[in-house]
Structure 1
Amino acid sequence: MSTHQPGGDRKRAHPASDVQRLRRWAVSVAMFASCSTALAPGIASADSCLPTAVIGAAGTGQGPAWSPPNGVGKDELDAQVGPQVHAAITAIADRLGPLEVGAINYPATGLEPFDTGAVTARVAYDISAYRMSKDLGYSRAYEKLKKEAAECRSKKFVLVGYSQGGHIMGDLAQSVFHGNGPVDRSRIAAVVLIAEPAYNGPSPRTTEAIYSQGKLTQDQDHWSIGGSLGQRAAFETNDPVVSICVYGDPVCDGKDLFGQDGKPKAVTNKDMHFLYLGHPFEGVKDFATWAGVQAARIIQPTDPPGPAPAELPGKPSTPPAPAPPAREAVTIAQADAKTVTVTVADAAGAGPRAVRCWNATDATHNWKTNYLGEIQISIPRNGTFTVTCPTAPKPGTFSLEFFNWRWSPAIQWR
C-alpha cells in the first residue's frame, strides 16, 4: 500500500468524470468561515433552496485549512471535504440529484491515535490540540446548520464526516437528536460517519468490514468495538445514522488494546485508516461509497410505500402506529456556587463519563471565558447525582456537556 499522510490519501487524483458529474448535479461548495464562496470549476451556484444540502467535515490533515491533494485545486470538492466524504456525497447525489455541499473550514489538526496508541490518546485528549480543533469544528458546523436552516425552512440536511470530521458530525447529530441542536430532528435527513474516533459498534446501523488478502468483506458477527477516544452513546433505531469502521483501524477500533483473537492490536497500523477508498465492498466501489448509498436509501427508499388500502365495510379502522419511545430526560438545577444537581431518566449515556461545565450552550465554545473544567462521574441509568464544577460559573447561561453523549438543557446561573 502506498504511503499516506495523516487524515487522507494525498495522492488521489480528481478524475475528470467526477467533475462532469458535479456539473450535472450543480453542486455548490461553500467554505464556512470564509469571506467568499468557492465553487468547483465550471459549476454554477445552486439554488439556495434545493431540497437537500450536505454539510461535510474532512478528517485530520484534510480540508480547506490544509494544502490540497496533488492535482486538485483548492476550490474542488476533494480538497474541501476530503476524498472519503466526497465519495459518500457522490453516492448520495447519484440517487437524489442536485445537492448543495457546504464544507466546514476548521483546523483539522491534533492528536493522531494511530501514532500514540489508544491509551495515550485518551489520556492526552484533554490537553491536546485535537480537542480544540474538534470543538471549533463543532461550533462552526452548528452555526452553519443554524444559518442555512433559517435561510430556507424547507431544506433538509445530510451530515457527513470522516475521522475527526466524523467526530464533529456525530456530536452535532446527537445534539440535534436530543433536542439541543439548532434545528428540529426532522430536518436531518441522514448522517454518515466514516471511521470516527468515538465509534460505537453496537449502535444501530453500524457496519464493520474485515480486511483480508486485499479485500473488504462485511462481518456478520458484528463484534462490539469502540473508538480510540471513547465510545459515544448509541444512536436510536429511528435516528438516520450510518456509521462504518474497518476492524483494526486504530481510530475507530481503538477502545481495546487486544483484538477479538486475543492478540495485541497493531496500533501503529495507520494504513487501516485509509481502506475506505479503493477496495470494493458489498458490490460497491468502496466502503465510503457504500455508506453514502445506505444514507441515500434512508432519504429515498427504493420501494416507497403505496397508498393505504380502502377500508372495508364494517372493518375497524387500522389502529395508529405506536408512539416512539420517550427519549431519555436530563434536567439540571443550580445547587450552590459551584454545584449542579442532575436528574436523568433512562440515560443512554449511563456509566463512567467525562462531564464538562460551560458558561455557554453547545453552540459556543470559547475556551478562555466559557470553559469551567471537567470532572469524571459515573452516571446512573435513572436517578440524581451532583456535579461540582472545578471553576465557579458566572451569572448567565450555563450547561453541562456529557462527553460523547449529549448536552444538558441550558439554565440561567444566578
Structure 2
Amino acid sequence: MKLRVTGAERLRRCVVVAAMLASALVLVGPGVASADDGCLPTVVIGVAGTDQGPAHPPPAGVGKNELVAQVGAEVAAAIAPIADKLGPLKVTPINYPATGVQWFGAVGAKLTYDISAYRISKDTGYSRAYQELKKQAAECRSAKFVLIGYSQGGHIMGDLAQSVFHGNGPVDRARIAAVVLIADPAYNGPTPRTTEAIYSQGKLTQDQDHWPIGGSLGQRAAFETTDPVVSICIYGDPVCDGKDLFGQDGKFKPLANQDMHGFYRGHPFEGSKDFATWAGTQVVKIIQPPPPTNPPAPAPAPAPAREPVTIAQTGPKTVTVTVVDAAGAGSRAVRCWNATDATHNWKSNFLGETQVDIPRNGTFTVTCPTAPKPGTFSLEFFNWRWSPAIQWR
C-alpha cells in the first residue's frame, strides 16, 4: 500500500510495513543504511494531538494514509528535517482516541481532569505508546528512538520520556535519542532546552526574557540537562501557557490568544519555515552534534543521582514515602496501583487517587483509597515519576 507524504518534499518515498496499534512508515532520505539486524537505526514514534491521527478523519484534501493524517501536521513537520538529515527512518504513529479537552477549554479541563474523557484518552495513548516502544525495542535491539508529540500527544510523550529517564520505562534511557514536545499541556518553562516564542505580525520570534510559564494541566517535573528533550511553546497558547489566566501582556489568554495553539506551523521561526520544523532541526543537533572547534574539556564528574524515592508498607492502606532532593516537591495527585506502570488493567489494578504535599526532603504518608491486594504495588506521582515497586503483604 503506497502512501504520499504531504509537506515533506525532501523525503523520497514512504511505504507501509506493518499495521497493528499503529501503522509503521519508512521514510527514506540520505544517510546511513540499515543495521546488521535488518532494522533501521532510527525509529520515530509520533503521537498526534486531540482530534488528529488515525482515530479521526484526515484534514480536507489529505489522504488517510498520508503522514499528516497519521501523526498530525505538527508532528509531521518536526519529522521532515530529521528524515532529511538522518534518514532512513521508521515512523510509527500511535492510534489512540485523541479526544477530550479542546484548546479553548484548557483552563476548565484542569478542574475536571479526573473525570474527563481527556484523561481516559491520554492514559490510553500512554499505554499504547509504552507497549509499542517495548515491542519495537525488542524486535530491533540496535535501533534508537525519537519520541515526538503535539498537544495531547506531547503530554503522552512527555510522560513516557519521564518514565524511561527515571528507570520505569520499557527501554534503557540510552536508547532514547531525542524527545520533541510541541505545546505540552504539562509544559514546564524552566526545564533545560525549552524554547518559547512570541507571535507578532505573522512571525514567531524567540523570547529571551523567559518569564516562567506552565501548562494548563499542571507542570511536569523538570527534565535534566542530560535528557535529550526539546520542548516548545508559544506565549499565550492556553494549552502549554495555561497555568495562569492572564499573560504578562495582561490579556485573558483563553479568549484573546486562543488561536495560538495552531501557530506551530505556517509561521517562520529562527530560519525555519515554522516552529515545529525548527524543533526537528534541534533533534538533528542533539543526535549529530557539530564537531568541536577546540579539544573537548575533561568530562565533569558524574552528578549524584537525583530524586531517589523509597516506599514502604506501613498499614493495610498506608505507605510511608521518603524523598531526597525531590524535583517534584509540592502538592501533587498520587495514584496507588497494584502494578508497576500504566500498562496495567485499570479496572483491577487502580486503587484510587489522593492529594499529598511532597517535601523537597523528608518522609510523608500516602493513604490509598482502596486497600491493595498482596503482590506488586507502586505509587504514581502525577506529572513527576513512578516509585519503585514493592511487594505488598
TM-score (norm: length of structure 1): 0.87
Structure 1 position 396, deviation (Å): 1.7
- The answer to whether 1:115 aligns with 2:104 is yes
- The answer to whether 1:374 aligns with 2:353 is yes
Question: Residue in 2 aligned with 1:103?
Answer: 93
Question: Residue in 1 aligned with 2:288?
Answer: 300
Aligned mate of 2:54, from 64, 69, 72:
64
Structure 1 position 292, deviation (Å): 0.6
Question: Residue in 1 aligned with 2:215?
Answer: 227
Mean CA deviation greater in 325-334 or 213-222: 325-334
**Preserved CA contact (<8 Å) 2:123 2:342:** no
Question: Residue in 2 aligned with 1:413?
Answer: 392
Partners of 1:206 and 1:385 in 2: CA distance: 32
Deviations 1:210-229 (A, max 9, x none): 00111110000011000000
Evaluate the alpha carbon distance shift between residue 185 and residue 373 of structure 1 in structure 2; reply closer, same or farther with a 3 A threshold. Answer: same
Evaluate the alpha carbon distance shift between residue 163 and residue 346 of structure 1 in structure 2; reply closer, same or farther with a 3 A threshold. Answer: same
Structure 1 position 23, deviation (Å): 3.0
Evaluate the alpha carbon distance shift between residue 253 and residue 41 of structure 1 in structure 2; reply closer, same or farther with a 3 A threshold. Answer: closer
Question: Residue in 2 aligned with 1:331?
Answer: 310
Partners of 2:17 and 2:313 in 1: CA distance: 44
Aligned residue for 1:211, secondary structure, equals strand
**Preserved CA contact (<8 Å) 1:245 1:252:** yes
Q: 1:157-176 residue pairs with structure 2 within 5 A?
A: 157-176=145-164
Evaluate the alpha carbon distance shift between residue 410 and residue 109 of structure 1 in structure 2; reply closer, same or farther with a 3 A threshold. Answer: same
Structure 1 position 42, deviation (Å): 11
Structure 1 position 371, deviation (Å): 1.2
Provide the identity percentage. 75
Question: Residue in 1 aligned with 2:341?
Answer: 362
Structure 1 position 116, deviation (Å): 2.7
Structure 1 position 143, deviation (Å): 0.8
Evaluate the alpha carbon distance shift between residue 401 and residue 32 of structure 1 in structure 2; reply closer, same or farther with a 3 A threshold. Answer: farther
Q: 1:330-349 residue pairs with structure 2 within 5 A?
A: 330-349=309-328
- The answer to whether 1:151 aligns with 2:139 is yes
Q: 1:75-224 residue pairs with structure 2 within 5 A?
A: 75-112=65-102, 114-118=103-107, 120-224=108-212
Evaluate the alpha carbon distance shift between residue 254 and residue 27 of structure 1 in structure 2; reply closer, same or farther with a 3 A threshold. Answer: farther
Structure 1 position 401, deviation (Å): 0.7
Structure 1 position 122, deviation (Å): 0.9
Aligned mate of 1:396, from 375, 384, 387:
375
**Preserved CA contact (<8 Å) 2:335 2:352:** yes
Structure 1 position 191, deviation (Å): 0.2
Q: Which amino acid in the other structure matches residue 219 of structure 1? A: D
TM-score (norm: length of structure 2): 0.92
Aligned residue for 1:369, secondary structure, equals helix
Structure 1 position 234, deviation (Å): 0.4
Q: 1:264-283 residue pairs with structure 2 within 5 A?
A: 264-267=252-255, 269-283=257-271
Deviations 1:74-118 (A, max 9, x none): 221111100100000111111112101011110000122x33351
- The answer to whether 1:23 aligns with 2:15 is no
Partners of 1:236 and 1:180 in 2: CA distance: 16
Q: Which amino acid in the other structure matches residue 56 of structure 2? A: W
Partners of 1:290 and 1:234 in 2: CA distance: 22
Q: Which amino acid in the other structure matches residue 175 of structure 1? A: S
Partners of 1:301 and 1:42 in 2: CA distance: 21
Where does structure 1 lack aligned partners over 5 or more consecutive residues?
1-13, 309-317
- The answer to whether 1:259 aligns with 2:223 is no
